[in-house]
Structure 1
Amino acid sequence: MTVPPQLALFPDTAFPHPAQRPAKPPAGSALPPNRALTIRPDTLPEGVQWQQVELDGHTIGYQLKRSRRRTLGLTINDSGLTVALPSWVKLSQAEQVLHTKSAWILRKLHEYQQRREQLALQSLQWVDGDMLPFMGVPIRLSLNPQIQQVQFEGQISQAQHGQRLCLPLPVDAEAQRVQELTQAWLQKQARLWFEQRLAHYLDLSGLSARKLRLAAPAKRWGSCNSDGTIMLNWRLIHFHPSIIDYVVAHEVAHLQEMNHGPQFWALVEALYPDFVNARNQLRQYDPGTLPLL
């Protein structure tokens, strides 16, 4: 039996498309609330001050420390933004630099916030109150023996931070049972949402696919066979709808162009004009780093 060739979403070869804009949050999505971008530590190191600055409509807190260095230094890690300021530089001068670097600062803080969400997913205990990413925002698991079926209190297409996914289980239910119900619900939502988005991009492109298959491969977010079968990694349901749209548009483009040449990327851009931003966001994650729920 001949196995039809497959094209992984991200091949090992470099992307030939000339668009190389810096990564930023997907179009149509707001940056997370300010409290999620910067969190004031309970205690600060000796000689370090907590400061705040307005950057592009966001109040960003940062740790300020004076140093003997000759130039201002910016560091962003899981603790947030740290500014190392030469002793002779005024705070107002430092803030001017922060404003000139605002796009970079907000982008990096957003990336670290996403990584924290991923770590939260990996550390799930499958108990009442756990948080997991769904459609780009963290939602809360709520165990409720009074209900008869799984219920989500928000709209699937517009999930909001902290909304509850209610499971018909006692609050002391076994973790394995909580995991099973959650996974079944996520896979169901993935199937419904992916089918809808695939239909949209097939209609937009005038192309047709033989079938949609959901899986959870460790190395791919999606693939397209030469027989017209599109595979999507169901764990994409953890990501913002704009990222899901990019993956779907990417695989639809493979129905016409079974390569990653200039014509392929031109078709992807025609289907999803802001694909570079979504692609850059997704490239921060490897399917193998997400737990097999």
Structure 2
Amino acid sequence: MGLTKQLELFLFDAAREQPAPTPAPAARPIPAVAISCPPSLPAGARWREVQAPEQKIGYVLQRSRRKSIGLTINDDGLQVRAPSWITLSQIDAAVIEKSAWVLEKLRMSQARQQQLETAEAQWHHGGRIPYMGKRIVLNLDSTRRAAAFTGKRFAPQDNDPLYLALPHDAERSRIRDSTHAWLQQQAQAWFGERLQHFLGISKLRMRRWRLSSAATRWGSCSSDGNIMLNWRLIHFQPDIIDYVIAHEIAHLRELNHSKNFWREVERILPGFERARDALKQHNPGSLPLI
């Protein structure tokens, strides 16, 4: 039976003879993941539950023409696709086998949904958003004709105001969309400048570039020299943006992650490791929190 995934020592001291060691406090159990059947299911799908070692796991099962069992996580929870010739017991066994992975991804998905719900509180007059590593403040002003940032465009400071041409009682969706449009304009301009800067250093040539809204990657470079950069990078400080751009430019020469590739990144952006390590704390699936 094939199985595919989609998405992605405790050390004790020696016991002392005298006095008797104080028993360590019991480890706090990991809270169970809340799993429930979605209010509606796709046509032909069914809801199943299976008892895994950690807890009971429910999932939406759909039969398909694929040749193996596929497990994916979305906002409705675990989705399983399997060919018609695989039995229910085999499907349940596959879910149990991957239960640790499933529960980890479900926790991450639910945490992201909670973050997004919390972030909705930012879409109002006085709300704060991350821009180039700083927290700028949204100011709604219906007398303005267009968005305006009064701080230094590419060297912002905390609490710099971003004025949006909206009334104070504008719907949150309008505030969000206006802010995203402004952020994408800044990303287009700043990323373009930095691309030209690093292309000059590298002596390499790209075919073209554009912004992306990819859910799983910060940037990409194709074999024909096209570069894509996630616009949400504009939330980060400039050194992280520079790292992603240098990373993708290095792929123009080395379309892999070999030692030669990392030497190329170092040549383009010496000391890139700190920014790379900082970026590892985030993933596109967790951004924007706005």
TM-score between both structures, scaled by the size of structure 1:
0.58
Q: Which residue of 1 aligns with 2:252?
A: 255
Instruction: Give CA deviations for 1:194-218 in whole Å, capped at 9, x if unaligned.
Output: 0100000111110010011211111
Q: Distance in 2 between matches of 1:191 and 1:291?
A: 17
Does the 8 Å contact 2:265/2:272 carry over to 1? yes
Q: Distance in 1 between matches of 2:118 and 2:241?
A: 20
Q: Compute the displacement of 1:291 (Å).
A: 3.5
Aligned CA-pair RMSD: 2.2
Superposition pairs for residues 33-72 of structure 1, below 5 Å? none
Aligned pair in 2 of structure 1 residues 219, 262: CA closer, same or farther (>3 Å)? Answer: same
Distance 1:153 1:166 in 2: 8
* Alignment equivalent of 1:243, drawn from 240, 243, 246: 240
Paired positions, count: 179
Partner of 1:155: 152
> Residue deviations 1:101-151, cap 9 Å, x none?
xxxxxxxxxxxxxxxxxx599613311111010000111110011221100
Amino acid at match of 1:123: A
State which of 107, 127, 132 in structure 2 corresponds to 1:130. Answer: 127
Cα distance in 1 for residues equivalent to 2:287 and 2:194: 23
1:169 to 141, 166, 169: 166
Query: Amino acid of the residue matched to residue 260 of structure 2?
Result: Q
Q: Give the conservation status (yes or no) of the 8 Å contact 1:124–1:131.
A: no
Name 1:201's counterpart in structure 2: 198
Task: Name the CA distance, whole Å, in 2 between partners of 1:242 and 1:209.
Answer: 21
Give the number of the structure with larger relative contact order, counting CA–CA contacts within 8 Å between residues 6 or more apart.
1
What is the percentage of aligned positions where both structures have the same residue?
49
1:155-234 aligned within 5 A:
155-234=152-231
Shift of 1:267: 1.0
Tell me which residue corresponds to 2:67: none
Q: What is the aligned partner in structure 2 of residue 62 from structure 1?
A: none
Aligned residue type for 1:260: H
4+ residue runs over 3 A deviation: 119-122
User: In 2, distance between residues paired with 1:124 and 1:207?
Assistant: 42
Unaligned stretches of 5+ residues in structure 2: 1-7, 9-21, 23-114
The CA distance in 2 between the partners of 1:177 and 1:221, in whole Å, is 26
TM-score for both structures, normalised by structure 2: 0.59
Matched residue SS, 2:120: coil
Distance 1:120 1:130 in 2: 14
Cross-structure match for 2:71: none
Cα distance, 1:244 vs structure 2: 0.2
Which structure's CA Rg is the greater one?
2
Letter in 2 for 1:127: H
